[in-house]
């Protein structure tokens, strides 16, 4: 054997220091114990300051619903009910505003009436600006090229 190579019991001494490992292990154990004691102290503090009250009974249904909007429990059934209500409104007669005398009619009947009576249009004199425009008439006009409206005040 060389003078520089000394037998240390069959393990490498350059890479691992047993002393450092023992110090690390001891520090880790101390930190764990300090953490447990701090947790116990916080638990005792909150037990005194904020008591939980009596334990909940498993026989009571004290479940409160969260505030709206809530998740749908049965979205497929909800959609079916919504579509049925919309279909009913589109395919039946009913009042929209009874005081004003406004009603709704089924779509098929509205299309038939539109074919019979035609689209509402202004008379030819109204197109030239000679007649007064009546309520409910359809009006169309073309904005001149380059026109910019003035900002409202």
In a domain, 135, yes or no: no
Taking the alpha carbons at both ends of the chain, their separation in whole angstroms is 103
Question: Rounded to an integer, what distance in angstroms lies between the CA atom of residue 93 and that of residue 107?
Answer: 10
Nearest C-alpha neighbor of 105 from the set 90, 119, 120: 90
pLDDT band at 100 (very low <50, low <70, confident <90, very high): confident
Indicate whether 152 belongs to any domain.
Answer: no
Q: Domain containing 39: what range?
A: 16-51
User: Are residues 67 and 75 in contact, defined by beta-carbon separation less than 8 angstroms?
Assistant: no
Mean pLDDT, residues 93-109 taken together = 87
Q: Is the pLDDT score of 139 beyond 50?
A: yes
Mean pLDDT of 77-94: 92
Model confidence at 67, pLDDT cuts 50, 70, 90, reads confident
Is 69 domain-assigned? no
Q: Is residue 114 part of a domain?
A: yes
Residue 62 has pLDDT above 80, yes or no: no
Number of structural domains the chain divides into: 2
Question: 120, 137 in Cβ contact below 8 A?
Answer: yes
Task: Look at residue 125 and tell me whether its pLDDT is greater than 50.
Answer: no
Say if residue 101's pLDDT is above 70: yes
- Please say if the pLDDT value at position 24 is more than 50: yes
Residue 58 domain flag:
no
Mean pLDDT over residues 95-124, rounded?
82
Note the pLDDT of residue 53: 74
The span from the CA of 133 to the CA of 130, in Å, is 9
């Amino acid at each position: 054997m060389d003078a520089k190579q000394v037998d240390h019991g069959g393990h490498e001494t350059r890479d691992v220091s047993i002393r450092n490992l023992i110090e690390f292990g001891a520090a880790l154990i101390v930190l764990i114990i300090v953490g447990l004691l701090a947790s116990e102290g916080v638990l005792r503090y909150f037990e005194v300051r904020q008591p939980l009250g009596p334990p909940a009974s498993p026989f009571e249904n004290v479940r409160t619903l969260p505030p709206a909007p809530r998740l749908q429990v049965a979205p497929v059934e909800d959609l079916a009910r919504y579509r049925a209500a919309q279909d009913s409104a589109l395919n039946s007669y009913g009042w929209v505003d009874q005081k004003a005398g406004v009603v709704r009619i089924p779509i098929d009947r509205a299309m038939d009436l539109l074919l019979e009576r035609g689209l509402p249009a202004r008379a030819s004199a109204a197109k030239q600006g000679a007649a007064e425009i009546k309520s409910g008439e359809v009006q169309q006009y073309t904005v001149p090229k380059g026109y910019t409206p003035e900002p409202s005040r």
